[in-house]
Amino acid sequence: MTTDTVTARLSAHAVHPLRTLDPAAPTDDLDWLDEAIGDARVVAIGETAHYNRETFRLRDRLLRHLAERHGFGAYAMETGFVEARLVDAWVRGTGTDTDAGQVAAQGLTSLMGLWTEMRDHLAGMRRLNATAARPVSFHGIDLPGSNASLLPGLDAVTAYLADADPDFTVDPALRQTAAAFAATSAFSAQPALTVYLGLTAEAKDTLTAGLADLAARMAGRRLEYRRRTGDEAYRQALRALHLTAALDTTIRAMVRGDQQAVLYDRDAALADTLQWILDREERVVLAAHNGHIQRWPTAFPGVPGATPMGMHLADSLGSDYLAIGMTSGQGQMLNVGADFVTGTLFAPMDPPRPGSLDALLHASHAGPFATDLRRLDDTDTAAVRAATSHRAGNGSFYADIDPLQAFDLLIHLPQLTPATPDPAALAHAPDDVQRPFTQCASTM
């Protein structure tokens, strides 16, 4: 009998059911993860789309298990590197528990901190660290300013240089130009990009050259700077500068219509930041979209495939990199339509497309479960190999993929629901965020 693309399913022994997604529940149903990770230094946990309740809770649960059972000492997330310093300080015990909303709103970018499930995740890390012999650190790996503003990175570098090189003044024109097109969130990114398009070529080039000059100054004076401020402060500032320059590069590529370059440049920067973390931490849990963690070219509608972070990490780490992809069934996920900016943050998902990886897993078990792609029998391997596409970023777009090359394990979530907006975080969000979130709350 040939494999039927509609009814194909994995065998029962390939399915490792997840009893619950509750982060506080015992984790004795995660023995499959204990067997899978081996000596891996990086365990990457993907997601089909951002801001789903189930994904936040699952990552919370997996992090606690990996920290408590296997000594993972760092959590790295697809959020701004510069801003995440605030989160790291808080989960290590700085401030009070009531600061959670402000920390999540201001320390996480791209709307990541505006959900109660994410705040609960951070609070869980803070509780874990309160009694842990070795606290778990928190790191952002992404470009600053929600990929839409150079100001957080530029301001961090300027503040550092005020201590490291007090006789040097950063040209104020750099910040003035960056401030002219600085978006405060994803909701104001398009108007900000329009302003950037209106800048003269000379202004754009002067900004790019100014960032390069700062990088050259920091490289040439690194011994003096490290003596004055300490090595870690220097390296933090230098990484912030590199990521700010990378954002400038991606914006330049975006305005000339080179979306493929945007994917290449951003993911190379993500990988470099993860490597920066590995210089400090022995084992890292990495949370990012499937498209970033997979060992297979990332593609979006109308954009050819580009090399994602996961391919860079697999190249440098080999078997020390473990990629756990996520598939999904039905429910609601992030809306990528034009009405997103008016408050329609989520959209209904169609059932998985027949023949896709999501359809195969959705037919295999009724509840959440994991499967280890490296330990399948021949029949299950053939079924996975025949599923040559997966849902990528919204309910209708499916990208070509070789699952056996892209991921080591998969977790299937049969039902996705929107995460819950967090009033405590939204109180600290800018106006352009509060308006659409208010509209979103009225429709949920």
Instruction: Please tell me whether residues 353 and 241 are part of one structural domain.
Output: no
* pLDDT beyond 60 at 444: no
Examine the domain organization and report whether 244 and 278 are in the same domain: no
Amino acid found at 51: Y
* Co-location of 157 and 171 in the same domain: yes
In a domain, 6, yes or no: no
- Residue 88's closest CA among 292, 280, 310, 321? 280
CB 273 within 8 A of CB 243: yes
Residues 386 and 284 in one domain: yes
Compute the radius of gyration of the chain from its Cα atoms: 22
Do 386 and 437 sit in the same domain of this protein? yes
pLDDT of 304: 81
Instruction: Verify that 240 and 386 share a domain, yes or no.
Output: no
Would you place residue 1 in the very low, low, confident or very high pLDDT band (cuts 50, 70, 90)? very low
- In the prediction, which pLDDT does 315 show? 98
Domain end call among 218, 235, 265: 265
- What sign results for the dihedral spanned by CA atoms 69, 72, 74, 77? negative
pLDDT for position 442:
55
Question: Contact, 346 vs 335, CB < 8 A?
Answer: yes
Q: State pLDDT tens for residues 355-381.
A: 999 999 999 999 999 999 999 999 999
Residue among 156, 149, 157 nearest 177 (CA): 149
Residue 336 has pLDDT above 90, yes or no: no
SS3 of 214, please? Answer: helix
Looking at the structure, do residues 244 and 382 belong to the same domain, yes or no?
no
Domain annotation covers residue 157: yes
Confidence label for 5 from pLDDT (cuts 50, 70 and 90):
very low
Average pLDDT over residues 344-363: 95
> Of the residues 215, 243, 265, which one is the last residue of a structural domain?
265
310: CATH:
3.40.1660.10
Predicted confidence at residue 2, as pLDDT, reads 43
Residue 1 falls within a domain, yes or no? Answer: no
- Does residue 3 belong to any structural domain of this protein? no
**Residue 443 to residue 421: CA distance in whole angstroms:** 12
Instruction: Kindly state the tokens that stand for 441.
Output: 């709350």
Q: Tokens 């999540």 label which residue?
A: 104
Q: What local confidence, expressed as pLDDT, does residue 301 receive? A: 80
- pLDDT (tens digit, 9 = 90+) per residue, 209-236? 999 999 999 999 999 999 999 999 999 9
User: pTM value?
Assistant: 0.96
> Given pLDDT bands bounded at 50, 70 and 90, which one contains residue 3?
very low
User: Where does a domain end: 265, 284, 307?
Assistant: 265
Per-residue pLDDT tens digits for 147-186: 999 999 999 999 999 999 999 999 999 999 999 999 999 8
pLDDT score of 6? 47
pLDDT tens-place string over residues 419-440: 999 999 999 999 999 988 987 7
The domain tally of the chain equals 2
Domain assignment of residue 112, given as a range: 12-146+267-443
Instruction: Tell me, yes or no, whether 243 and 284 share the same domain.
Output: no
pLDDT digits (tens, 9 = 90+) for 233-269: 999 999 999 999 999 999 999 999 898 889 999 999 9
Q: How far apart are CA 132 and CA 152, in angstroms?
A: 31
State the average pLDDT over residues 137-141.
Answer: 98
Task: Return the higher-pLDDT residue of 276 and 304.
Answer: 276
Flag whether 333 is in a domain.
Answer: yes
User: Tell me: the pLDDT tens digits for 82-131?
Assistant: 999 999 999 999 999 999 999 999 999 999 999 999 999 999 999 999 99
How much is the average pLDDT of 56-79?
Answer: 97
In a domain, 5, yes or no: no
Looking at the structure, tell me whether residues 57 and 116 fall in a common domain.
yes
3-class secondary-structure state, position 5: coil
Neighbouring CB atoms inside 10 A of 80's CB total 28
The chain-wide mean pLDDT, for the chain, equals 95
Same domain, yes or no: 315 and 260: no
Distances (CA, A) of 197 to 171, 203, 257, 301: 22, 11, 12, 24
Identity of the residue numbered 4? D
Assess whether 236 and 285 both reside in one domain: no
In a domain, residue 120? The reply is: yes
Q: Is pLDDT at 330 greater than 60 in this prediction?
A: yes
Question: For residue 7, is it within any domain?
Answer: no
What's the pLDDT score for residue 443?
59
Residue 68 confidence class, pLDDT cut points 50, 70, 90: very high
The answer on 305 and 246 residing in a single domain is: no
